[in-house]
Amino acid sequence: MIKPLRLHHVRTMKKIFLLSCLVLFLASCGFQLRGSMSYGIENVYIQSEAADILASQVKQYLTGQSNITVVTSPKKADIIVSLSNQKLERRVLTISAVSGRLEEIELNFQATVEMRQPDDTILLEEQKLTYIRDYSFNEKAVLAMGAEEETLRRELLQEASLQVLRMLQIVSNQVQPKTQKNSDK
C-alpha cells in the first residue's frame, strides 16, 4: 500500500519539475505574453472617408481595450487617424477547365490610413493596407461557402483594424499628450 503512494508522489514531482523547467526556459529566453496595447496618448479622433466599417472597428477596439478616449472633435485629439478608401473586392481566381465551374475565389481588402496631429503635422504618411485571402469554392456546399466567405471578410477587417492599432501605438509614443502639454506651461 505504501509503494503505490510513493510511485504517485514521484510522478507528481517529475511533472512539477518538468513544468518548472519549462517556465524557467520560457522566462530566460525573453518570452512574455503580448498583453494589452499601451499608448502614449489619451485622446484620438477617427476621421473616416469611405471607410466607415473599418473606422467603427478601430473605435470599438480603442474604447473597449485601451486607455484612449475617442473624441468627437479633432481639436481635442492628440492624434487624428484618417481612414479612407475602404474596398472589399471579390474575384474569381480559378475556373475548372473541364467543367467550367468556379473553383477558387479571392477576397481583397484595401484601405488607406494616415495619422497627424491637429496642427496638421504628419506623423504617418498615407499608407495603403492590403489583405488578401482566397478559398476553394464547392458548389455542393453553397451555404458553407457563404459562411466561410463571411468569416474571411470579418478576419480581413480584424487584421486591418489591428494593423491600424499597431501603427497608432508606434506613432503615439512620439507624441506628447495635450494634457501633459498644458501642465508643462
The pLDDT profile of the chain, 185 residues, written as one tens digit per residue, is 445 556 667 778 888 888 887 777 767 766 555 555 677 788 999 999 999 999 999 999 998 877 889 999 999 999 999 999 999 999 988 887 888 787 888 999 999 999 999 999 999 999 999 999 988 877 777 677 778 889 999 999 999 999 999 999 989 888 776 655 554 44
Name the residue ranges covered by the structural domains of the chain.
1-31, 39-176
* DSSP bridge partners of 134: 106
pLDDT of residue 178: 63
Q: Which of 169, 155, 164, 159 is nearest to 46 (CA)?
A: 164
The answer to whether the pTM exceeds 0.75 is no
In angstroms, rounded to a whole number, what is the distance separating the alpha carbons of residues 28 and 127?
37
pLDDT of residue 24: 73
pLDDT of residue 9: 74
In angstroms, rounded to a whole number, what is the distance separating the alpha carbons of residues 92 and 89?
10
The third-level CATH classification (topology) of the domain covering 39-176 is Double Stranded RNA Binding Domain (3.30.160)
